Amino acid sequence: MNRARVLVTTLSFLSALAVTADAKLTRTGTPAVTFHASGPAGMNIVGTTSDLDVDDQGAKIVIKVPLKSLATGIALRDDHMRNKYLQIATYPNAELTLDRATVHFPNGDTASSGDATGSMAIHGKTKNVSFHYNITRVTGTLHVGGTVHLDIRDYGIDIPSYLGVTVKPEIGVEVQFTATE
């Protein structure tokens, strides 16, 4: 009898793992993507967008950010960023692709966090990146946050400069979104 109980418990646990592994993420709510760049004399540039798509392909997850609505609050700077530097007509998206197995999804109403790697595609170039993530599950909804640090030179993007003011090539990117499985 005791063996049967252990077998049933083990099979139940494995079934729960299989359901979680096969569950597809579907983005819900309004996401937030923010980038931080800096320049001389403490200049700080913050750009934001609420465009973000999650494509759960099973073993891989692709987080795509359309760059056309990325905004810093200054129209001329936004135009230069989108058209001169990011060249969104040719390279409309930034995409992070990661193996599902590199991220720990919490079970029940719990949280997990960690560091993982994936590939970032921007401006026609793809590079491996490390990122930090936190995932909290609350009543079936996943609250996902992540940060990554990039050097735009790695993607063939010219270093932005205007009227003698040059932005540093290192940027930080933060992403937040909710999803269901």
Q: pLDDT tier at 22 (50, 70, 90 boundaries)?
A: low
Q: Looking at the predicted structure, is the pLDDT value of residue 9 above 70?
A: no
The pTM for the full model equals: 0.84
Count of positions (residues) in the chain:
181
DSSP 8-class letter at 89: T
Residue % of the chain over a pLDDT of 90: 80
Give the separation between CA 51 and CA 31, rounded to whole angstroms: 7
pLDDT the model gives residue 3: 45
- Short-list 61, 120, 131, 56, CA closest to 93: 120
Q: How many CB atoms lie within 10 A of CB 5?
A: 9
Q: Looking at the predicted structure, is the pLDDT value of residue 65 above 50?
A: yes
**Residue 42 dihedral angles phi and psi, to the nearest 5°:** 75, 10
Q: How do residues 138-173 score in pLDDT, each as one tens digit?
A: 998 999 999 999 999 999 999 999 888 899 999 999
Mean pLDDT across 62-71: 97
Give the separation between CA 79 and CA 74, rounded to whole angstroms: 9
For the chain, what is the total number of helices (H) and then of strands (E)? 2, 11
Give the separation between CA 117 and CA 132, rounded to whole angstroms: 9
pLDDT the model gives residue 23: 74
